[in-house]
Amino acid sequence: MPRIEFSLHVGDQIEYRSALDQVVTRATVREIGPNFDRTESIDRVATTAVLTNFSSYNPDFRIIRSEHDDAPPVGVSTSLLKVNLVRGSMPKAEIKRVREREREER
């Protein structure tokens, strides 16, 4: 079995297409955890973008910014199915700060 060399972490800023309308979304990963939807084959990845769905149905993404050495290269397309999903969650106060920063950057 091939070794997976890259990981996606809470706090990584990513760009992806929403599952329903294919709109390109730039957001920060706020939680990676168990998926309770039995139709999903991988862990749930929640971002700071409230109204967009990121899932295994449309798993492609690009790293915009990460503080982790094992993150995929910035700007290179990859898939949730090709990276380690490091479980964790961002504190609520941090989510609020990140969302405010993202609004200012738009």
> Is it the case that residue 3 has pLDDT exceeding 80?
no
Q: Locate 59 and state its tokens.
A: 């798993």
Residue 60: CB atoms within 10 Å: 14
Residues written for the chain: 106
Kindly report the average pLDDT of the chain as a whole number: 87
Residue 53 is predicted with a pLDDT of 66
11, 15, 19, 23: CA torsion to nearest 10: 130
> Model confidence at 78, in pLDDT bands (50, 70, 90)?
very high
Whether the pTM exceeds 0.75: the reply is yes
Rounded CA-CA distance 68/61 in Å is 16
- pLDDT reading at 55 higher than 80: no
Mean per-residue pLDDT for 5-23?
Answer: 86
Single out the residue of 102, 101, 95, 97 nearest to residue 46, CA to CA: 95
